[in-house]
């Protein structure tokens, strides 16, 4: 997605939400498939100085501390270089105050030497209530203040902020910094100033930062009630609720009433099983087409046994790489993530929301909030007749699970064993090989071209072209 590595540089006084934005932005970029990592300068500083004593460390006239802080910044930038040049990273987020032009010029020289792109994110906040709330929510539990009293933490941290204010040089969009690419976020998103966005990924960053809002809310995720297709083991389709699915819908209404969620917004897909679930709630709901279940293409309304029998190669390929595999004529989980991006943006902006959705859709949404990798995403457990309550907190997400006591079938498929995908090819391979050795060779090469292991061994092998030997080789 990026044609050259990008360094995102945070700017701002302490307690302005820089780490909060860094972590959320990194989670979002990884979710949409852009390898991203945060480099928090506080971590490097705590490695260099094992015990924090007081705000005196951050005084601009503390020469020894200033040397340590600059050294930590240089070490962090070297780690950024390793990540972007050697470890496959595309974006690094340098999470530090970076409040002086001298420090930012050092970073700009580093970027120029390594041919990276750079984008600055400055958080400006002069609302004392927001600052105090941030200190109490995040800094009290900081490693800098083990077992400290709230009053002492607040006093020391406010003095630390004053140390930074002495040398703080905000970005100057009309003068010194007019040629830089950046966004200024004022008072946690009340106002924005965007300057010289250079490429697609920078526009994505701006779009995301303009949509996240720091407010207290919860997101409720659940699947529709059990459907007729669920009971038959079929995927996709547009079937109706089973009797137990209707019981769940009634139980879900009781759950909403019991928890006093009168202001709850309810979203569904445009498929009957989610709509029937929402209709039982007795509240208004919105239908979103982009919340429809993953499109299984030619495999729609088939059971997994039918797919394995009818399309053995497709069945095996999906087990190999479930996230990237695309059903013929359908979608992959990767496609689904791209489709659901507008939903994430809306969830970040809204108050309390209940999303009545589908297994694959719920997995994608959960992976965003829980920071799960693409490899883990397709195997997240999202059982029927269970509600997940997600409450964003300082640097993560609190998860609560509510089972509504209505039985349902288990639609979860565990991650297959490594050797399992190849075994799926054997019936078709044996059948083809019994008819024609050339056809068998074509199928064997087709198999191995899609496998992630041993391709060189396969291609360099000297074959005994009897069908039995070819089957034996593919097995080995």
The residue from 95, 177, 314, 348 that is catalytic is 95
Sign of the Cα torsion 193, 162, 104, 49 reads: negative
224 is catalytic: yes
Which residues of 411-455 form beta strands (DSSP E)?
none
- C-alpha R_g of the chain: 27
Residue 64 annotated as binding site:
no
Residue 230 annotated as binding site:
yes
Residue 461 annotated as binding site:
no
95 is catalytic: yes
Torsion-angle region of 265 (φ positive above 0: left; ψ -120 to 50: alpha; else: beta)? beta
> Among candidates 332, 322, 358, which has minimal Cα distance to 343?
358
471 is catalytic: no
Residue 358 annotated as binding site:
no
Nearest-angstrom CA–CA distance, 413 and 38: 33
> Among candidates 108, 121, 103, 147, which has minimal Cα distance to 38?
121
The residue from 72, 125, 222, 440 that is catalytic is 125
Which residues of 351-466 form beta strands (DSSP E)?
353-357, 386-393, 396-403
Residue 273 annotated as binding site:
yes
Helix axes 467-475, 426-435, angle to 10 degrees: 160
Nearest-angstrom CA–CA distance, 270 and 427: 39
* CA angle, residues 15, 21, 25, in degrees to nearest 5: 165
Would you call 9 helix, strand, or coil by DSSP? Answer: strand
Nearest-angstrom CA–CA distance, 436 and 180: 65
Nearest-angstrom CA–CA distance, 438 and 467: 10
The residue from 122, 144, 293, 348 that is catalytic is 293
> What counts of helices (H) and strands (E) characterise the chain?
19, 12
Residue 217 annotated as binding site:
no
Residue 229 annotated as binding site:
yes
The residue from 224, 319, 357, 364 that is catalytic is 224
375 is catalytic: no
Phi, psi of 357 (to 5 degrees): -135, -150
Q: Which residues are annotated as a binding site?
A: 223-230, 273
Q: Which residues are annotated as a binding site for substrate?
A: 223-230, 273
Show which residues are catalytic. Answer: 95, 125, 224, 293
């Amino acid at each position: 997605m990026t044609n050259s590595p990008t360094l995102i540089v945070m700017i701002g006084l302490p307690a302005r939400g820089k780490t909060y934005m860094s972590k959320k932005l990194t989670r979002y970029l990884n979710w949409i498939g852009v390898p991203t990592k945060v480099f928090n300068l506080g971590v490097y500083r705590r490695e260099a100085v094992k015990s924090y004593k007081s705000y005196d460390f951050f005084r601009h006239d503390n020469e020894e501390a200033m040397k340590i802080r600059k050294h930590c910044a240089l070490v962090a930038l070297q780690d950024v270089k390793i990540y972007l040049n050697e470890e496959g990273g595309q974006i690094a987020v340098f999470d530090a105050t970076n409040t002086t032009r001298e420090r930012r010029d050092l970073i700009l020289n580093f970027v120029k030497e390594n041919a990276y792109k750079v984008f600055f994110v400055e958080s400006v906040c002069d609302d004392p209530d927001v600052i105090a709330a941030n200190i109490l929510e995040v800094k009290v539990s900081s490693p800098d203040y083990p077992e400290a009293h709230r009053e002492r933490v607040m006093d020391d941290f406010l003095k630390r902020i004053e140390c930074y204010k002495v040398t703080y040089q905000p970005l100057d969009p009309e003068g010194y910094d007019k040629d830089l690419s950046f966004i200024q976020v004022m008072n946690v998103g009340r106002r924005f100033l965007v300057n010289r966005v250079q490429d697609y990924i920078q526009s994505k960053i701006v779009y995301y930062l303009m949509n996240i809002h720091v407010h207290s809310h919860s997101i409720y995720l659940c699947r529709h009630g059990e459907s007729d297709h669920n009971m038959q083991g079929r995927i996709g389709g547009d079937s109706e609720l089973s009797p137990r699915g209707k019981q769940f819908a009634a139980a879900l209404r009781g759950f909403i009433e019991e928890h006093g969620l009168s202001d709850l917004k309810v979203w569904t897909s445009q498929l009957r099983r989610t709509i029937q679930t929402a209709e039982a709630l007795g509240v208004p709901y919105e239908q979103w087409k982009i919340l429809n279940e993953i499109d299984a293409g030619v495999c729609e309304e088939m059971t997994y046994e039918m797919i394995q029998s009818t399309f053995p190669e497709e069945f095996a390929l999906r087990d190999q790489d479930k996230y990237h595999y695309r059903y013929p004529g359908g979608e992959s989980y990767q496609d689904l993530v791209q489709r659901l991006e507008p939903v994430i943006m809306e969830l970040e902006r809204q108050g309390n929301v209940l999303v009545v959705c589908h297994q694959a859709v719920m997995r994608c949404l959960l992976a965003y909030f829980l920071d799960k990798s693409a490899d883990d995403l397709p195997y997240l457990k999202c059982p029927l007749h269970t509600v997940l309550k997600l409450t964003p907190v300082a640097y993560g997400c609190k998860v609560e699970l509510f089972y509504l006591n209505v039985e349902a079938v288990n639609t979860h498929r565990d991650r297959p064993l490594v050797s399992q995908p190849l075994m799926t090819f054997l019936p078709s391979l044996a059948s083809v090989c019994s008819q024609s050795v050339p056809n068998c060779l074509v199928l064997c090469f087709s198999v191995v071209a899609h496998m992630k292991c041993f391709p060189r061994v396969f291609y360099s092998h000297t074959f005994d072209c009897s069908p039995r030997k070819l089957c034996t080789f593919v097995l080995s």
